[in-house]
Amino acid sequence: MHILVTDDSKLARTFIKRELKACFETEKLEILEASSGKQAINLLLENEQVELLFLDLTMPEMDGYQVLEALQPMNLDVKKIVVSADIQNLAKQRVMELGAVGFIEKPIPEGSLRSTLIELGVLS
Amino acid sequence: MNAQVQLNQEEMDAFKEVINIGMGKAGAALSEILEGFVSLKVPEVQLLELDNLIHVLEKSVADFSSINMSKQSFVDQIRGEILFIFAPIAYERLGKILGFENLQDLTANRKSELILEISNSLSSACLFGLSNQLGLSVALKPPNMVCLEEAPDKIKAKVFGGKKPSWDHTLLIKIEFSMSDIQFNCEILVFVAEDSILPLKNALNTLLED
């Protein structure tokens, strides 16, 4: 499975990658990383095989909301999961309206990444 | 500069992420109190000499004709000061949301009460979010007003004219909250005391090792 993890924090990307490796165990994972919204969009366009996008909201220059807005007309076949410290209910509502299919709060509670992937049918 | 107070790139990245989580909690608290969407910017962190604080403050208030400011200390395993800088506030709108009565007769005391209530909610969510992640205890003292609807050029003396902190350096955290629908803008400047930087670094390194 090809996954793109986008966060301006290296530490946050490390936490997500670690959780992903624990979730998928034996399945071969190809994890790409982006440290900005712009880089994420470029990587998605260059790598059509990416199926899952993990996206932070609060990032410099191009934030997660802007990434979701930019992706809307592109109709890429990628599931977008927001992983954010911005835990306002209105933020969750807004990202879902912009095409995200999941929202995971930071710091990532134990088991929540796995349960989100199961809900989305990515993991069984 | 003492190397013990400097954060390397990895520690700085981790600290920003920890702050980001604290800020997110504060944003959610504000969103709940003021019933609206709060825009959050990426927090800024920098180590600076205390003598340069005045320039930071000048920059923060430069765009406003009048400002409101409150201040709060935190103590325990990490200590420092928090300054809350509020752009001119639509008090009637805020007061109504918060359930204040007699909005047409908002006295200075009532306005201060409102500002202090918001300040305390923001600092509690933010600092406790931070301390929980780092495993460092922190206690907040009650906030107090620095100024209410005053010209920015008059506030410098009020912030620094009183008891000057004993530290030479501080780790400065700058966080901004804004709500466009009610014209609410608040900037928080957190000054972490120099002697708290080492315990903070140790806690960050424990987090990085986990």
Q: What are B122-177's pLDDT values in tens digits?
A: 999 999 989 999 999 999 999 999 999 988 877 767 776 666 777 888 999 999 99
Q: Do B13 and A11 touch (CB under 8 A)?
A: yes
Q: Which two tokens stand for residue A60?
A: 């410099």
Nearest residue of B to residue A59 by CA position?
B42
Q: What are A10-19's pLDDT values in tens digits?
A: 999 999 999 9
pLDDT at B103 over 70: no
What is the topology classification, in CATH, of domain B3-209?
Chemotaxis protein chec (3.40.1550)
What is the model's pLDDT at position B163?
A: 67
Q: Which two tokens stand for residue B26?
A: 């504060």
What is the model's pLDDT at position B160?
A: 60
Torsion of Cα atoms, B118 then B132 then A106 then B207, to 10°: 140
Q: Do A84 and B24 touch (CB under 8 A)?
A: yes
Q: Looking at the partner chain, which of B13, B17, B27 has a beta carbon nearest the beta carbon of A86? A: B27
Mean pLDDT for the stretch of residues A67-73: 97
Nearest residue of A to residue B24 by CA position?
A86
Nearest residue of A to residue B16 by CA position?
A9
B21 vs A contacts (CB less than 8 Å): 85, 106-107
Banded pLDDT at B99 (limits 50, 70, 90): confident
Alpha carbon distance B7, B17 (integer Å): 14
Q: pLDDT above 90 covers what percent of chain A? A: 93
Q: Do B41 and A91 touch (CB under 8 A)?
A: no
Q: Do A107 and B133 touch (CB under 8 A)?
A: yes
CB within 8 Å of B198: residues ≥ 6 apart: B4, B5
> Residue ranges of the domains in chain B?
3-209
User: Class of the A2-108 domain?
Assistant: alpha beta
Mean pLDDT for the stretch of residues A84-92: 96
The residue ranking higher by pLDDT, B182 or A83, is A83
Question: Could you give the ipTM of this predicted complex?
Answer: 0.91
pTM of the model: 0.91
Q: What are B169-192's pLDDT values in tens digits?
A: 899 999 999 998 888 999 999 999
Q: What are B39-80's pLDDT values in tens digits?
A: 999 999 999 988 888 888 888 888 888 899 999 999 999 999
pLDDT at A8 over 90: yes
What radius of gyration do chain B's Cα atoms show?
17
Alpha carbon distance B170, B162 (integer Å): 18
CB within 8 Å of A47: residues ≥ 6 apart: A2, A4, A32
What is the model's pLDDT at position B1?
A: 60
